[in-house]
Structure 1
Amino acid sequence: MQIEGNWSWHAVTLFQIIPSCIQIAFIYWVPESPRWLVDKGRNEEALNMLAFYHGGFEYREIRDTITIEKEVTKESSYLDFFRTPGNRWRLAIILSLGIFSQYTGSALFSNYINLIYEVWHCQLTVISQLNGGNTILSLIVSVSAALTIDRFGRRRLFLVATSGMVVMFICWTISSAVYENSDSTNKAAGYVQIPFVWIFGVFYSIAWSGLLVA
């Protein structure tokens, strides 16, 4: 089924909003977490909830953790991020990951990939198939990479992902330049960009998609 005009993307956006609207409508009936109840001094309610769902074995752990966190908070502040070289280095890593993730070229996939496919004269059905396949592949790679953190480490995965993205972007740029310089007559240079785009997405999914929150 093909939808013409602005509704081709309006419909997709509205469909994605439905789950969020359901969550907003029923969020007020969701019970508070035991940690929140303990933090607010409502220990009896927290204990009853844990006894009902977990047999009460987590209550003491949560209570002790909240107590320790409050004691630590009294003696610490956000200035601790800058007081030692180690903390400053960790803060720099966290900030750089957030910034660099926006400069990886992923915006091409999320915002302009359909326009790129259209430049290569792909039909709408083919574009939908390519987008669907790329999304499924990225999900599989992202989850698989997140499950291997303990084996390979974040640093190695980020290095592999970033290096692969750079190489694929170079190949993608070269083939795109060849295609444009041929006045769009070099079809091979146009179609070869598709695997470069996909492989770029695979490398992106290895680290920059899932490891930022894993």
Structure 2
Amino acid sequence: MFKLLVIEDDESLFHEIKERLTQWSYEVYGIQDFEKVIEEFSEVKPDLVIIDIQLPKYDGFHWCRMIRAHSNVPIIFLSSRDHPTDMVMSMQLGADDYIQKPFNFDVLIAKVQATLRRVYNYNNDQIHLKTWAGATVDYEKNTISNDAGTIELTKNETYILKALIEHKNKIVSREELIHQLWEDERFISDNTLTVNVNRLRKRLVEIGLGQNIETKVGQGYIAKEGAST
């Protein structure tokens, strides 16, 4: 049974989310003290976090940073705010998805299910290590290493890199990436994919591989095999 932590201060909404998700056999926890979110997160050890942006004391962005400081657990943001920068900010902080309030509970459940399948099932592949552009990618540990060092990736970043490497030196369309990563393109925006790929490229710059993920305007992305020069 997957454990979900819902960081939501609206009690009526939290209880409705809990009731809906419990019907799908998820074990759902809430927050008792919004000044001790990290302590409660560490105690629950959830498999997925659903977090509102507007919270007492500190906002959801703050707690996302705190969680990402020591965990790659998948995070889905909820927000009643409709400013595009909120979605961009959440993705830059390492969130896996973003849901605008008010939302349809069927959409929430579909996103939770797709995220859990993506994060916890693809690691069952028999081959966990892959060599690419002079670096070693570890799909289990979510890391990529070369002579310049080792960097840790989020689950989404690893999955995007994996999808591109499997078709290295060939263009992977944006539509195909969206379908593979989120399983149903109706539930994700084109902008969210852009944010995730840009974040991955920035991480790869740290070990000299930023130029190996190339954007093909109007077509998609390509993972080049040759080392960057």
State the TM-score, normalizing by the size of structure 2: 0.23
- Determine which structure has the larger strand proportion and give its number: 2
The structure with higher relative contact order (CA 8 Å, sep 6+) is: 1
**Higher Cα Rg, which structure:** 1
- Determine which structure has the larger helix proportion and give its number: 1
State the TM-score, normalizing by the size of structure 1: 0.25
